[in-house]
């Protein structure tokens, strides 16, 4: 296949067994979110570029170098494939005045796009599941968002996921901290790398997030934000921690946790694991009380998180998690003019009765068709030759547990099949 026609680098096709794993995972996730009262929101994949610039911040990795932005060739609009979904949720909530009727718990799920260097756990199209709780200002909702993640790790059987927690304080407290950071780094300009020098006046907080080993000592000794937290911010942070302690969810306070997006304040958190190499953060979130106002809306508090589906699935599989293979109840094998015509009705009739059935298409010998039936994983084959067709009967052959094959009247097939499948489950002890 010509190189130019292959999928874009860092963007994956997901199919068959893996896609079924995704679907089972998504359905588990939906049930989990609903059990906390979160309701779905679906927003467009493309948004106006200024939305992300204003929400995420001009001096962030995402806006500076990761966005897929383009000009609409037809009308010149500046558009961007969404790199995350919080900005879109906030836009939608504002545009449709969703908070008029009170606070909202929302969740989304879908592809996000970032132009990063593809590697394990890091892709250019990846998927996030996120929850956003808008209109709530107390520490209770921050704690709820964290506790619900802890429950999901439990449900998935993940053991090695740790919680890191920090408070970024209020906008004013951050401003005071920022001023002292600038002063500190200004006095040590010769030790700053290129990224840090560039961010000194635009986003000094991000310097703390540096991965450059040569700057670790410098950053370690920099003024700490917690020294600038006022009474309200402290009380809020204490409130979150108290609920976590009551629930028995362990955490570590990481004063270096600042998050790569500008909109966060007060509580921020990440769930991290050692099992995924460098891409160890599976879920990240926090409070973003200023974002709605920053985008021109009536001020309202909010908090949320986003988790990376590819990373979570990798972790789930590494911990022995496995999706069930989805197999049909029946594979319908048929040969002969009369049998071919009858087979359609038989397969449709089974589906009407709630069974799943694959109808063999494309002809071939009985032997070849039976091979396909076996490979499909179906519990039974329904075999129709002209002989059966003339008698208004079919042959029912169990494929998995060695049961006897039997001739059955076509109109009794659903009942016999139900007995057989339930009986099989009884033997398993699974019913
Ligand atoms: P990182 O530090 O790994 O780049 P981030 O801070 O940019 O992460 P967020 O914007 O907070 O990530 O996104 C939330 C989650 O989405 C991440 O914790 C991660 O699990 C997932 N994620 C982010 N970027 C990618 C990507 N390029 N590929 C796969 N998953 C990603
Ligand atoms: Mg990133």
Q: Residue 307: give its domain's CATH number.
A: 3.30.930.10
Mean pLDDT of the chain: 93
132 is in an annotated binding site: yes
> Are 308 and 399 members of one domain?
no
Query: β-strands 104-113, 125-134: how paired?
Result: antiparallel
- Phi and psi, residue 325, nearest 5°: -70, 135
Label residue 431 by pLDDT band (50, 70, 90): very low
- Establish whether residue 84 lines the binding site of ligand 1, counting it when its CB lies within 6 angstroms of any ligand atom: yes
pLDDT at 337: 94
> Are 246 and 360 members of one domain?
no
CA of 128, nearest ligand number: 1
Residues comprising the chain, all counted: 431
CA of 105 to the centre of ligand 1 (A): 22
Domain count, the chain: 2
Between these two residues, 410 and 255, which has the higher pLDDT value?
A: 410
pLDDT single digits (tens) 297-310: 999 999 999 999 99
Overall average pLDDT of the 33-57 stretch: 97
384 pLDDT higher than 60:
yes
- Establish whether residue 122 lines the binding site of ligand 1, counting it when its CB lies within 6 angstroms of any ligand atom: yes
77 is in an annotated binding site: no
> Are 249 and 339 members of one domain?
no
- The answer to the question of residue 208 being in a domain is no
List CB contacts of 325: < 8 A, sequence separation 6 or more.
Answer: 17, 20, 377
pLDDT at 278: 87
> Are 312 and 336 members of one domain?
no
Q: Please choose, from the candidates 187, 199, 183, 42, the residue with its C-alpha nearest in 3D space to the C-alpha of residue 107.
A: 42
- The answer to the question of residue 215 being in a domain is no
> Are 384 and 295 members of one domain?
no
- The answer to the question of residue 8 being in a domain is yes
CATH assignment at residue 366: 3.40.50.800
pLDDT at 261: 67
> Are 281 and 364 members of one domain?
no
SS3 184: helix
CA of 109 to the centre of ligand 1 (A): 14
Q: What share of the chain is helix, strand, coil (3-state, %, to 5)?
A: 45, 20, 35
429 pLDDT higher than 80:
no
- The answer to the question of residue 251 being in a domain is yes
> Are 275 and 353 members of one domain?
no
Q: Please choose, from the candidates 119, 57, 120, 121, the residue with its C-alpha nearest in 3D space to the C-alpha of residue 83.
A: 57
- CA-to-CA distance for 82 and 217, rounded, in angstroms? 36
> Are 251 and 111 members of one domain?
yes
pLDDT single digits (tens) 167-198: 999 988 988 999 999 999 999 999 999 989 99
263 is in an annotated binding site: yes
CA of 291 to the centre of ligand 2 (A): 20
> Are 246 and 296 members of one domain?
yes
> Are 286 and 338 members of one domain?
no
Give the domain range for residue 299. Answer: 3-169+229-318
Contact (CB, 8 A) for 251 and 165: yes
Q: Please choose, from the candidates 368, 149, 350, the residue with its C-alpha nearest in 3D space to the C-alpha of residue 244.
A: 149
Between these two residues, 153 and 426, which has the higher pLDDT value?
A: 153
CA of 84, nearest ligand number: 1
| Lowest pLDDT segment from 120-129, 258-267, 354-363, 394-403 | 258-267
Picking from 318, 338, 364, the residue at the C-terminal end of a domain is 318
- The answer to the question of residue 84 being in a domain is yes
- Establish whether residue 80 lines the binding site of ligand 1, counting it when its CB lies within 6 angstroms of any ligand atom: no
pLDDT at 425: 53
Contact (CB, 8 A) for 128 and 84: yes
> Which atom belonging to ligand 1 lies closest to the Cα atom of 307?
15
pLDDT at 394: 97
**Percent of all residues in the chain with a pLDDT value above 70, rounded to a whole number:** 97
pLDDT single digits (tens) 124-150: 999 999 999 999 999 999 999 999 999
Overall average pLDDT of the 280-298 stretch: 94
Ligand 1 mutation target, pool 284, 285, 315, most atoms within 8 A of CB = 284
- The answer to the question of residue 14 being in a domain is yes
Overall average pLDDT of the 341-356 stretch: 96
Picking from 276, 297, 318, the residue at the C-terminal end of a domain is 318
CA of 65 to the centre of ligand 2 (A): 10
- Phi and psi, residue 405, nearest 5°: -85, 150
Overall average pLDDT of the 217-229 stretch: 92
352 pLDDT higher than 90:
yes
- Establish whether residue 206 lines the binding site of ligand 1, counting it when its CB lies within 6 angstroms of any ligand atom: no
pLDDT at 264: 85
Going by the DSSP 8-state scheme, the letter that residue 238 receives in this structure is H
Ligand 1 mutation target, pool 55, 88, 308, most atoms within 8 A of CB = 308
- The answer to the question of residue 212 being in a domain is no
The residue behind tokens 């999901």 is 152
Overall average pLDDT of the 369-394 stretch: 96
Q: Give, using CA atoms, the residue closest to atom 7 of ligand 1.
A: 260
pLDDT at 31: 96
> Are 271 and 334 members of one domain?
no
- Establish whether residue 127 lines the binding site of ligand 1, counting it when its CB lies within 6 angstroms of any ligand atom: no
- The answer to the question of residue 220 being in a domain is no
311 is in an annotated binding site: no
- CA-to-CA distance for 190 and 188, rounded, in angstroms? 6
Overall average pLDDT of the 156-171 stretch: 93
CA of 307, nearest ligand number: 1
pLDDT at 132: 98
pLDDT at 70: 97
- CA-to-CA distance for 219 and 213, rounded, in angstroms? 10
> Are 294 and 378 members of one domain?
no
Picking from 290, 318, 346, the residue at the C-terminal end of a domain is 318
- Establish whether residue 386 lines the binding site of ligand 1, counting it when its CB lies within 6 angstroms of any ligand atom: no
């Amino acid at each position: 296949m010509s190189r130019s026609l292959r999928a874009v680098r860092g963007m994956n096709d997901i199919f068959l067994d893996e896609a079924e794993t995704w679907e089972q995972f998504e359905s588990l996730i939906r049930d989990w979110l609903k059990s906390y009262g979160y309701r779905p929101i679906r927003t467009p994949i493309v948004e106006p570029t200024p939305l992300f610039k204003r929400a995420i911040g001009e001096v962030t990795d995402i806006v500076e170098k990761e966005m897929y932005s383009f000009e609409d060739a037809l009308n010149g609009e500046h558009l961007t494939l969404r790199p995350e979904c919080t900005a879109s949720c906030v836009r939608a909530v504002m545009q449709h005045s969703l908070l008029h009727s009170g606070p909202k718990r929302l969740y989304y799920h879908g592809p996000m796009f970032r132009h990063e260097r593809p590697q394990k756990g890091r892709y250019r199209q990846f998927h996030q599941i996120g929850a956003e709780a808008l209109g709530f200002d107390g520490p209770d909702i921050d704690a709820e968002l964290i506790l619900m993640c802890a429950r999901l790790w439990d449900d998935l059987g993940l053991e090695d996921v740790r919680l890191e927690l920090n408070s970024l304080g209020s906008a004013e407290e951050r401003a005071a901290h920022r001023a002292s950071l600038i002063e500190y780094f200004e006095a040590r300009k010769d030790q700053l790398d290129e990224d840090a020098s560039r961010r000194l006046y635009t986003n000094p907080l991000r310097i703390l997030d540096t991965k450059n080993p040569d700057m670790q000592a410098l950053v370690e000794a920099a003024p700490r934000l917690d020294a600038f937290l006022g009474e309200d911010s402290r009380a809020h942070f204490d409130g979150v921690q108290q609920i976590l302690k009551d629930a028995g969810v362990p955490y570590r306070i990481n004063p270096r946790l600042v998050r790569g997006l500008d909109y966060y304040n007060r509580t921020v958190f990440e769930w991290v694991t050692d099992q995924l190499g460098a891409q160890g953060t599976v879920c990240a979130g926090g409070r973003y009380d200023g974002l709605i106002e920053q985008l021109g809306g009536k001020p309202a508090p909010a908090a949320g998180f986003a988790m990376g589906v590819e990373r979570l699935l990798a972790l789930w599989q590494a911990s022995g998690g496995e999706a069930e293979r989805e197999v049909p109840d029946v594979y319908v094998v048929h040969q002969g003019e009369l049998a071919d015509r009858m087979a359609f009705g038989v397969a449709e009739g089974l589906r009407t009765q709630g069974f799943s059935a694959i109808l063999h298409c494309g002809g071939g010998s009985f032997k070849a068709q039976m091979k396909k039936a076996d490979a499909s994983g179906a519990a039974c084959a329904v075999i129709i030759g002209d002989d059966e067709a003339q008698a208004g009967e079919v042959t029912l052959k169990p494929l998995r547990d060695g049961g006897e094959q039997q001739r059955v009247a076509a109109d009794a097939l659903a009942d016999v099949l139900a007995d057989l499948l339930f009986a099989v489950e009884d033997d398993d002890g699974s019913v």
